[in-house]
Structure 1
Amino acid sequence: MAKPMSFVARAFAATTVLAALTSGTALAAAPPVPAAQQNVITNEAKIKAARLVGFAESEFSRLLVFTDRNFVYELWRRAADNEKAANVRQAALLAYQTNTPEALAQFVNTGIHQAHEQDLAAEAARQAERALRIKAAAVIGVTPTESMLLVDRKNFLFRLWEACPKEFTEVRDAALVAYRGSAEQEQEFLTTGIVAAKQAADERIAKEAKEKEEAEKERLRVIEARTKALTVINVPVTEALLGMPERSFVFEVYQAAPRLSWVAEAALEALNSEDPGALRHYVFTGIHQAHAKDLAEAAVKQDQANQRKILEMVTHAENTGVSPLLVTAGKEALAAGPAERAAFLARDRAPLLRQSFHATSPGLSGSPYLRHANGVAVISPISGPVDRLDATWMVVPGLADPDCYSIESVNFRGSYLRHRDFRISLAGNDNTELFAKDATFCARKGRTGADVSFESVNLPGRFLRHSDGGIYLADNSNRFPFDNPHLFAEDATWQVTLPWVS
Structure 2
Amino acid sequence: MNAQHNASARRRRTAMRGLVAATVLAAVTGTAVPAAAADTAPGAPDAVASAVGIGTTDIQRVEAAAVVRLDPTPDVLLLSDHDFIHAIWQKADAAGERMDAVRTAAESAMAGTSAEEHVAFIVTGIHEAYRLDQQRERDKAEAERAARQARSQVLLTIGIPSTPELLALADDNFVRAVAGHAESGPEVRTAALQALAGDAAAWREFIVNGAREAHQRDVARELEELAERDRKEAERLKELAARKSTAALFGLTASEAMLALADDNFLRELLRQATPDQRTTELYIEAQRAVLSPDPAVWKAYIHTGADAAYKRDAENRRKKLADANRRLALQIQAAAEKTGVNPHLVAAAKKALAGSDDDVTQFLKADTQYRLKRQSLAPWGSPGYVSLSGGKVVLGETVKSTSAKAEREDATWVVLPALASQAGCYSFESVRKPGHYLRSGKAEKDGLRVELAADDRSTAFRKSASWCARDHAMLFGGSGFTQPAGKGVNWLTRSEGALYAGGGLKLPDAAPGAIPTLAASWKFSAPLAP
TM-score normalised by length of structure 1? 0.42
User: Which structure has the higher relative contact order (CA within 8 Å, separation 6+)?
Assistant: 2
Report which of the two structures shows the higher radius of gyration computed on alpha carbons.
Answer: 1
